[in-house]
Amino acid sequence: MSQSMSIPASQTRRPATMSAGMSDRWFSILLITPAMVVILVFALLPLAYALDVSFRFADLTRGRLGDFVGLDNYRIVLADEAFWKSVGVTLQFTVSAVALEMVLGIAIAFLINGATAGKGIIRSLMVLPLATSAAVTGLFWRYLYDTQFGLINYFLGLLHLPQPNWLGDYTIALWSVVLFDVWQWTPFVALIALAGLQALPKEPFEAAELDGASTFRVLRTLTFPMLKPVLFLVLVLRTIDSVRLYDAVAVLTRGGPGTTTESMTFYLYRTGLKLFRMDYASTMAVFFLYAMLVASLFALAPLLKQFSTRASEG
Amino acid sequence: MLQRPTSFATEALRYGLIVLVLAFIVFPILWMVVTSFKPPQDVMVSPPRFLFTPTLDNYVHAIWEKNFLFYIKNTLFISVTSTVLVVVAGALAAYSFARYNVGDGHILFFILSTKMFPAIAVILPYFLIFRDTGKTAVGRFLGVGLDQPGALIISYTMFNLPFAIWLLVSFFQDIPRELEHSARLDGLSRMKVLRKVVFPLAAPGIAVTGVFTLIFCWNEFLFAYILTRKTASTITVGVESFFTLQGILWGPVAAAATISVLPMMAFVLLMQRYMVRGLTFGAVRG
């Protein structure tokens, strides 16, 4: 296994004298045209549309888009308690799920990395949850969580532990969604951390060994600093995914009991397509997008830079 | 990393923990497959039954009564079409980024940033736009409208392109430039070089990108749930039809889930070598 986050490649440009007929420049633009048209038309146009709707009255039960109402929708949404509650649920889910996945995933990676035999089969079993859809396996988890027929409570009963009402209890339901997410995505963190561990150079560790450095010191001064770029990447990818939480909520709890598991995405969906208030829903979408853009400026800038340097080095 | 001398006890502990982790990961999937072969009367019982005579009743129910093959057929058509579009447009663009560095990284940066778009932010406009196009003659002809495959194909193509381009750029960068260079000196046109030299060399990477895209489309739920009702529904939405007044039919759900999950698992196992690379957009070449 070899891995590289940044490959120092010499910048060799194609000699300009080779261009017969079409120039390199035009050829390169021609090649990206189909993809760029798709992205610009189907990403930016809908966003402009959402922005437009967010400034209008749009109750789908009363027909078409209505008049401009200025910032009214923004005032209403920002004063909407249910909206802020869904933001809270989303943050609570994201922080707990991502933290658990990172800690467990890294621990599992260390565990597997030290194993002498069977790494292949271990990895094969680990990737399986990644092939499944949250909507399909999540639905089946409802059966596992069932208070009557569920396997989880059956095992807890055998061990004489309390048998909670996983999806029906106000205080537990969100944790049940977290547990499902941890099941599906911890292997992802573990696999990538493992690839990072296996790609570490041997020499610094041999030197530390000769110097008699303690295991803890090696971890703190060598292993983790060298793993940092990979771990940061995983953290960002998991966070982006988690704040969009929808599938698991839709099949496991439908936002309930009450609205205790209603994520921002789910509330937005309910406002727009169940209550048909497209104006409020679009306003939330704009707000959500804005939050993501701001977050990416601060949290993702280093990662994007890393990506871009790698690309321009190629 | 350096192997420190380990005692038998620590090794036993390590493998004990690994087995626990694997049990947690595999068990839900295993139980799903087991449940799919249970006779109906053994599914909804407490305590759960571990011994039973396996039957195919649940599969028969899922396929004949719930018409699950219809959803599979839809999913296959939509996923494969989207994948082809993504791979073709993505490979052309990725080659341009990898070789000509078009846009000096800025365009590539922009493409990655669309990955931050929450899908839900564009889904309402999609819903409104497709509702309108579905009523026009052209929209109906192309199947671009609510509950028509074109709407999902467009959505999936759009949402998988950024990922595909990034992954493909990493694969194209692995191909030495010298080969293209000499082919050009031999008088081949740029398009010919692309077709005869570059794409054959990048075939494994293109295949890997295609399989990843296929898996993402196959498993997608949000767009399918909102943009389809019946005629263009995919499997992730199809399992919803197993909700009945008597409750959820867990046996047939397990059967349907097993049918839809197994092919993707086979793909994932085949591509194990590239899993890490694919899941990180090509950033980690594990």
User: Which residues lie below 8 Å from residue B272, measured CB to CB, with a gap of 6+?
Assistant: A123, A124, A127
Q: Which domains does chain A have, with CATH numbers?
A: 55-313 (1.10.3720.10)
Structure tokens given for B100: 């000509």
pLDDT at A309: 57
Which chain B residues have a beta carbon less than 8 Å from that of A45?
A: 125
pLDDT at A306: 63
What residues make up the domain containing B82? 69-249+261-279
pLDDT at B1: 46
Give the gap in angstroms from C-alpha B224 to the nearest C-alpha of chain A.
Answer: 11
Which chain B residues have a beta carbon less than 8 Å from that of A183?
A: 24-25, 28
pLDDT at A10: 41
Q: Given a cut of 80, is residue A15 above it in pLDDT?
A: no
Q: Given a cut of 60, is residue B3 above it in pLDDT?
A: no
A282 touching B (Cβ < 8 Å): yes
Residue with tokens 């570490």: A200
Mutate to test the interface with B, among A143, A287, A313 (most CBs of B within 10 A): A143
CB contact under 8 A, B43 and A149: yes
pLDDT digits (tens, 9 = 90+) for B101-127: 888 888 888 888 787 778 888 888 999
Which chain B residues have a beta carbon less than 8 Å from that of A34?
A: 88-89, 92-93
Q: Given a cut of 70, is residue B161 above it in pLDDT?
A: yes
Which chain A residues have a beta carbon less than 8 Å from that of B84?
A: none
pLDDT at B246: 75
Mean pLDDT over residues B204-222, rounded?
94
A5 touching B (Cβ < 8 Å): yes
C-alpha span between B26 and A129 (Å, rounded): 8
Q: Where are the alpha helices (DSSP H) in A72-150?
A: 72-78, 81-113, 119-126, 128-131, 134-145
Q: Given a cut of 50, is residue B29 above it in pLDDT?
A: yes
Q: How far is CA A28 from the centre of its chain?
A: 32
A202 versus A311: the higher-pLDDT residue is A202
Q: What domain count does chain B have?
A: 1
Report the candidate in A184, A195, A189 with the shortest Cα–Cα distance to residue A131: A184
Which chain B residues have a beta carbon less than 8 Å from that of A9?
A: 173
> In the predicted model, what is the mean pLDDT of chain B?
90
Which chain B residues have a beta carbon less than 8 Å from that of A23?
A: none
pLDDT at B2: 47
pLDDT digits (tens, 9 = 90+) for A93-138: 999 999 999 999 999 999 999 888 888 899 999 999 999 999 999 9
C-alpha span between A250 and B243 (Å, rounded): 14
Nearest to B283 among A112, A141, A233 (CB): A233
Nearest to B111 among A39, A135, A268 (CB): A39
pLDDT at A43: 86
Provide the pLDDT confidence category of residue A65 given band limits of 50, 70 and 90: confident
Give SS3 for B243.
Answer: strand
Mean pLDDT over residues B2-26, rounded?
85
pLDDT digits (tens, 9 = 90+) for A175-187: 999 999 999 999 9
B182 within domain boundaries: yes
Mean pLDDT over residues A192-208, rounded?
90
The Cα-based distances of A291 to A56, B67, B143, B213 in angstroms read: 21, 42, 35, 27
Provide the pLDDT confidence category of residue A303 given band limits of 50, 70 and 90: low
Query: How many CB contacts within 8 angstroms connect chain A with chain B?
Result: 327
CB contact under 8 A, B257 and A139: yes
- Whichever domain contains B224, its CATH number is 1.10.3720.10
Mean pLDDT over residues B3-15, rounded?
79
Which residues on neighbouring strands pair with residue B244, listed in sequence order?
A: B247
Contact A47, A285 (CB under 8 A): no
CB contact under 8 A, B257 and A29: no
